Amino acid sequence: MKSCLMKFCRLVLLALTLPLNVMEITGLCGAYKRFFPFLAYNVTFSYNAKMHRIKRDLFRDVGRFANTDGSLRLLEIGCGSGANFSFYPCGCTVTCTDPNPHFHRYLQLSMDANQHLTYDAFIVARGEDMKEVQDESVDVVVCTLVLCSVSNVQQVLQEIRRILRTGGAFFFLEHVVSDPSSWTFFFQHVLEPLWYYLGDGCRITRATWKDLEAAGFSELHLKQIEAPNVTSMIRPHIMGFSIK
Ligand SMILES: C[S@@+](CC[C@H](N)C(=O)[O-])C[C@H]1O[C@@H](n2cnc3c(N)ncnc32)[C@H](O)[C@@H]1O
Ligand SMILES: *[C@@H]1O[C@H](CO)[C@@H](O)[C@H](O)[C@H]1NC(C)=O
Ligand SMILES: *[C@@H]1O[C@H](CO)[C@@H](O)[C@H](O)[C@H]1NC(C)=O
Ligand SMILES: CC(=O)N[C@H]1CO[C@H](CO)[C@@H](O)[C@@H]1O
């Protein structure tokens, strides 16, 4: 009963967002691509304030993957406005990648505020295809709130395995689908078609931990958590790291 209602409500939302779908196909969403970084930059401050302790715990282990000479090459996929720089250890060389070039202004502000790091290029690329980055050329890859937005999670994870050196690590913090018995699960499925457009391609019903389990890393350290004080649609999160 609940599941029929869920499917029905989702259909209604799908129908309501049909004009947005047409706009996407005909390329009229270009203006939103420009506007989204501004929106994301604005929203990211309140999210990051709430996630401060969680991110500190998550990124505490990054330093473990430095080389014997202390150097550490870190690549961030879907870096957006650069919300994680303050957590990276001194001496890190950071490469930023994002398919949306309009983040650059905001990224620069975060770089200016975090001068303990060295910044390599900003590469405009999708995580599914990072051909500019050589095989086994980085020690750490980071994704936060990115695997919800990519078109092919498995393909991104295989690209990450390709560019990581053996023994390197992939750190992630992602919101995921809720427990199927919860009302959050219900509303995530109903609202997803609309959320997809407002969130620039963000999907709120992904069971991303399944992709991480299937990706073929040699170790996976994963925790399921509820993000404190974040809207229930994106409260369930996974965090942790996998090692190549
Ligand atoms: C919600 S934002 C998160 C930004 C940033 N990582 C943070 O934690 O604030 C999602 C980001 O994923 C990027 N993105 C969308 N599709 C992508 C893809 N296929 N590959 C890599 N990044 C993608 C978007 O441009 C956006 O910067
Ligand atoms: C976000 O936007 C609101 C409304 O325009 C504004 O009051 C607030 O200062 C902005 N926050 C940041 C961090 O830019
Ligand atoms: C969440 O909200 C409660 C009540 O407003 C507050 O006491 C707590 O510090 C907040 N936690 C975080 C991590 O922001
Ligand atoms: C752009 C952005 O969200 N930067 C945040 C990165 O994280 C630090 C520490 O939590 C915040 O102070 C920044 O505002």
Look at ligand 3, atom 3, and give the residue with the nearest C-alpha: 229
State the total domains in the chain. Answer: 1
Question: Both tokens of residue 5?
Answer: 């209602």
Q: Half-sphere exposure of 195 toward its Cβ, with a 13 Å CA cutoff?
A: 16
Going across the sheet that includes 236-243, the strands are 118-123, 92-97, 72-77, 138-144, 164-175, 236-243, 219-226
Which parts of the chain have pLDDT scores under 50?
Answer: none
- By residue count, the chain amounts to 244
Q: How far apart are CA 155 and CA 129, in angstroms?
A: 8
Could you tell me the end-to-end alpha-carbon distance of the chain, in angstroms, rounded to an integer?
44
Q: How far apart are CA 119 and CA 161, in angstroms?
A: 22
Q: What is the pLDDT of residue 198?
A: 85
42 CA → ligand 2 middle, Å? 6
In short, whether 82's Cβ falls inside 6 Å of ligand 1 is no
Determine whether 75 is exposed, middle or buried from the number of CB atoms within 10 Å of its CB (0-12, 13-18, 19+).
Answer: buried
Residue 218: C-alpha distances to residues 63, 73, 138, 154, 201 (Å)? 19, 20, 17, 16, 30
| The ligand 4 atom nearest the CA atom of 109 | 1
Q: Which ligand is nearest to the CA of 40?
A: 1
CATH at residue 47: 3.40.50.150
In short, whether 163's Cβ falls inside 6 Å of ligand 4 is no
Q: What is the pLDDT of residue 22?
A: 79
Given a contact cutoff of 8 angstroms between Cβ atoms, the answer to whether 204 and 144 are in contact is no
Q: Which ligand is nearest to the CA of 45?
A: 4
Closest CA to 163 of 120, 130, 128: 130
Q: How far apart are CA 244 and CA 235, in angstroms?
A: 28
Would you tell me how many other CB atoms lie within 10 Å of the CB of residue 231?
Answer: 10
Q: What is the pLDDT of residue 29?
A: 65
Full-prediction pTM beyond 0.85? Answer: yes
Phi, psi for residue 159 in degrees, rounded to 5: -65, -40
| The ligand 1 atom nearest the CA atom of 150 | 19
pLDDT digits (tens, 9 = 90+) for 142-159: 999 999 999 999 999 999
Amino acid 35 reads F
Q: What is the pLDDT of residue 23?
A: 79
36 CA → ligand 1 middle, Å? 11
Would you tell me how many other CB atoms lie within 10 Å of the CB of residue 143?
Answer: 25
Task: Using most ligand atoms within 8 A of CB, pick from 97, 146, 211 the residue to mutate for ligand 1.
Answer: 146
Look at ligand 2, atom 2, and give the residue with the nearest C-alpha: 42
Q: How far apart are CA 218 and CA 43, in angstroms?
A: 35
pLDDT digits (tens, 9 = 90+) for 64-106: 999 999 999 999 999 999 999 999 999 899 999 999 999 999 9
Please list every protein residue whose CB sits less than 6 Å from any atom of ligand 2: 42, 45
| The ligand 4 atom nearest the CA atom of 84 | 6
Q: 236 in helix, strand or coil?
A: strand
Range of the domain at 100: 2-243
Determine whether 96 is exposed, middle or buried from the number of CB atoms within 10 Å of its CB (0-12, 13-18, 19+).
Answer: buried
In short, whether 110's Cβ falls inside 6 Å of ligand 4 is yes
